[in-house]
Amino acid sequence: MILPFTQIGLKNSINEKPLLRILQICNKAPYPANDGSSIAIHNMAKGLLANGVQLHLLCINTKKHFKPDEGVPEDFKKSSHYASVYRNTNTSLFGAFLNIFSSLSYFVSRFKFGAFKTELIKVLQKQEFDIIQIEGVFMAVYLSDIRKHSKAKIVLRAHNIEHYIWNRHVLLEKNPIKKAYLTLQNTRLKTFELDVFSKCDAIVTITSTDEAELEKLGCFTPHFTCITGVDIKRYQTPAPVQHKPKTVFYFGSMDWLPNSEAVLWFLNHCWPKIHKAVPDARFVVAGRGMPPSFHKLIAPNLLLVENVPDAAAFYKQHEVMVVPLWSGSGIRIKIIEGMAYGKAIVSTSIGAEGISCTHKKNIIIADNAEDFSKAVIDLLTQPVARMELENKATEFAEQEFDNDKVVFSLIEFYKHLLHA
C-alpha cells in the first residue's frame, strides 16, 4: 500500500528539527562530491544533518573511486560519524568467470565482503536507529544482516532502476559471448532488484518517473520521490573566472554508457550544423573516465577535458550546456547543478526527466537533431535570449532545489513511515 503524504511540513519552518536516528550506507565515499552519485549521497547527508538528524554514514571506499579519509572535513566526519571500509570492487575476468557458478549477479556480488559486514554489524550493535537508508540497490546485499541486527525501518534510496540501465548495455553489445554473459548477469540483477523492492519498508526514488516505473514493475512498497538538492548559496557565490564565449559543453562521468552515447550522438548529428552556423564555436567534453576511443575523435573545435580541477569555474566559464541523453534512469544531477549555476541548458526529454522544468522558460527541450542544433545555435548567437534563460534557470533552482527543504520533506515522509 502506498503511504499518503502531503508536504505540509514545508509550510512550517525547517528549524523545527525532527530527532531521527539514521544510518546511511553507501557503495562509494561521498567526499569530495565529484560525480552524480557521490553528490547525491553527500548532499543527502548534509541535508539530514541540517535538519537535526543523528546521522551515521558508513561507506565502501572503492579502489576505482578511492577518496582518502583524511581528505574528509573534520566537522563533516564528526557530525556524520563517518567511517569507510576499503575494497577493490573492480571487475576481473577471473571474478566474472567464478560468478557464473553463483546465483547473485556479478554487478551486485562485488560489493559483498566480510570486512564491511563486520563494520556494519558493529555499528548496528552499538547504536539503535529509526531508519537505515541504503544508497543504491547494490548495498542491499546487506539487507538480511541489517534485519538480523536492527529493528529499524529499511529504506532503499534507488538512484536508478539498475536493470534498466544494464539492459541497454545488453542491447548494444555486439560480441555474442559478452552479450550472453551480460544477459545472464542482468537477469540475475533484475531478480535481485525486484526482490529488494519487495523486502524494504519503503523506497525513495530520485524522480517521479522511476516512482511510476516501480508500479509498472508490480512494486507497491511504500514509496516517495525526493529529488537531489543542492546548496544554492554555494553555487551562487561569485568567483573570478575567465569567460570563454561561444562555448558549448557537456559535463559528466564519461565511463557511464548513456553519457558517452550522448556525446557521440551530439557530435555526429548536431555539431556539424552548429559549427557551420557558428564557425568559431567550441565544444568542450569534460568528465572522468574518458573512453580511449574519444581521444581518436576528429571533429572541428572539439576539446576533451578528462580532469576538471574546479567544477564551479568550469561551469561559469562556458556558455551553453547540452544534455543530449537518450537512455538511463534516475536524475541528471549535472542539470540540477547547471541550473543552480544559472546556465542556459539544452536537453532531451530523457535528460531532463524527473525535473519539473519548463520548456522555453528555464530550459530548452529538444528531441531531434534539427531542433537540438537550432536551440544551441540560437543561444550562441542571441546573448539576450541566453541571459534570460540563465536568469530563469537560477530562479527555478532557488525554488526547487534548496537542499535543506528537499531533505526536510523526506524526513516528514520518514516520520509518517515510522508511525504507519
Domain count, the chain: 2
Task: Write the CATH number for 392.
Answer: 3.40.50.2000
Residue 334, pLDDT score? 86
The model's pTM = 0.84
Residue 374 lies in a domain: yes
Residue 58 lies in a domain: yes
Residue 72 lies in a domain: yes
- State whether 213 and 260 are in the same domain: no
- State whether 196 and 279 are in the same domain: no
- State whether 190 and 299 are in the same domain: no
Residue 223, pLDDT score? 93
Which grid coordinates are listed for 13? Answer: 519552518
Residue 2 lies in a domain: no
- State whether 395 and 409 are in the same domain: no
- State whether 395 and 406 are in the same domain: no
> Tens digit of pLDDT per residue, the chain (420 long)?
344 443 434 444 445 544 899 999 999 999 998 888 899 999 999 999 999 999 999 999 999 989 999 999 999 999 999 999 999 999 999 999 999 999 999 999 999 999 999 999 999 999 999 999 999 999 999 999 999 999 999 999 999 899 988 887 888 788 999 999 999 999 999 999 999 999 999 999 998 888 999 999 999 999 999 999 999 888 888 778 889 999 999 998 898 888 999 999 999 999 999 999 999 999 999 998 899 999 999 999 999 999 898 888 999 999 999 999 987 655 578 899 999 999 999 999 989 988 889 999 999 999 999 999 999 999 999 999 999 999 999 999 999 999 999 999 999 999 999 997
- State whether 249 and 147 are in the same domain: no
Residue 284 lies in a domain: yes
- State whether 185 and 48 are in the same domain: yes
- State whether 84 and 201 are in the same domain: yes
- State whether 278 and 332 are in the same domain: yes
- State whether 277 and 409 are in the same domain: no
Residue 209 lies in a domain: yes
398, 232 contact by CB (below 8 A): yes
- State whether 78 and 35 are in the same domain: yes
25, 142 contact by CB (below 8 A): yes
Note down the domain range covering 117.
8-229+402-418
Alpha helices in 29-101 (DSSP H): 36-50, 74-79, 93-99
151, 410 contact by CB (below 8 A): no
Query: In b/e form, how buried is each residue of 86-103, taking b as 16+ CB within 10 angstroms?
Result: ebebeeeeeeeeebeeee
Residue 344 lies in a domain: yes
Residue 3 lies in a domain: no
3-state class percentages of the chain: helix first, strand second, coil last, to nearest 5: 50, 15, 35
- State whether 281 and 202 are in the same domain: no
